[in-house]
Structure 1
Amino acid sequence: MNIQIQFVQIPRSETFETFIQKKLSLLAEKYDWLIKAQVNIKQENDPSPKGKICEIELSAPGPRIFSSSNEESFELAVTETIQDLERQLKKRKSKMKPHL
């Protein structure tokens, strides 16, 4: 799976990129039909404790799968987003028909 990570108006972090790639590679191993992942990491200018946003869009057969979360830390936002994507992927996999 091809993974593209974009940091929007925040500094790039190699360790955080590695964290994201590890999490997404686990999804790619489980669902080998995934093609591409587009990850956007943003930070809201909001005084509330939340404001760390992670958006992930997956390209797969059929419609694209998208999830976003707004949490107190970027790691928590990525973890929450990937858990939501996994729920969507399980649902999509159950609907896929095997080729005979």
Structure 2
Amino acid sequence: MQINIQFVQMPTSETMEDYVQKKLEKLFKKYDWIIRADVFFKKENDPKGEGKICDVELSLPGPKIYASSNEKNFEMAFKETLEDLEKQLKKRKQEMKPYI
């Protein structure tokens, strides 16, 4: 399992990288067929006070799974994105057919 974290046009954050690694490791233990995760953090000027964007793309057998969220801080954005991914993974797992 490979994790790729990128901070787009902003400085990198070691604490944020550690937080993302821990949360994704839990997800990979639950769904061992995930191949790779690409995480992108972006900052955008938003008049509503939000503008912290987190995009996550998971590579797995079949089509990729993608989720994005825009929140007040990066931790909330990543948490929201992770919840969306978990819903999609549960749905995908139900569709998977075991071959005997």
TM-score bracket, shorter-length normalisation:
over 0.9
Cα distance, 1:51 vs structure 2: 0.5
* Inter-partner Cα distance in structure 2 for 1:31 and 1:46: 35
- 1:68 and 2:68 matched: yes
What does 1:1-100 align with in structure 2 at a 5 Å threshold? 1-100=1-100
* Cα-Cα RMSD: 0.6
* Inter-partner Cα distance in structure 2 for 1:46 and 1:73: 12
- Between Structure 1 and Structure 2, how many residues are aligned? 100
Letter of the aligned partner of 1:65 in structure 2? I
What TM-score comes out, normalization by structure 1 length?
0.97
What TM-score comes out, normalization by structure 2 length?
0.97
Letter of the aligned partner of 1:15 in structure 2? T
Q: Which runs of 5+ in 2 are unaligned?
A: none
* Inter-partner Cα distance in structure 1 for 2:98 and 2:84: 24
Tell me the secondary structure at the aligned position of residue 34 of structure 1.
Answer: coil
Letter of the aligned partner of 2:8 in structure 1? V
Cα distance, 1:47 vs structure 2: 2.9
* Inter-partner Cα distance in structure 1 for 2:49 and 2:56: 22
* Inter-partner Cα distance in structure 2 for 1:25 and 1:85: 14
Percent identical among aligned pairs is 61
Q: Which runs of 5+ in 1 are unaligned?
A: none
Letter of the aligned partner of 1:32 in structure 2? D
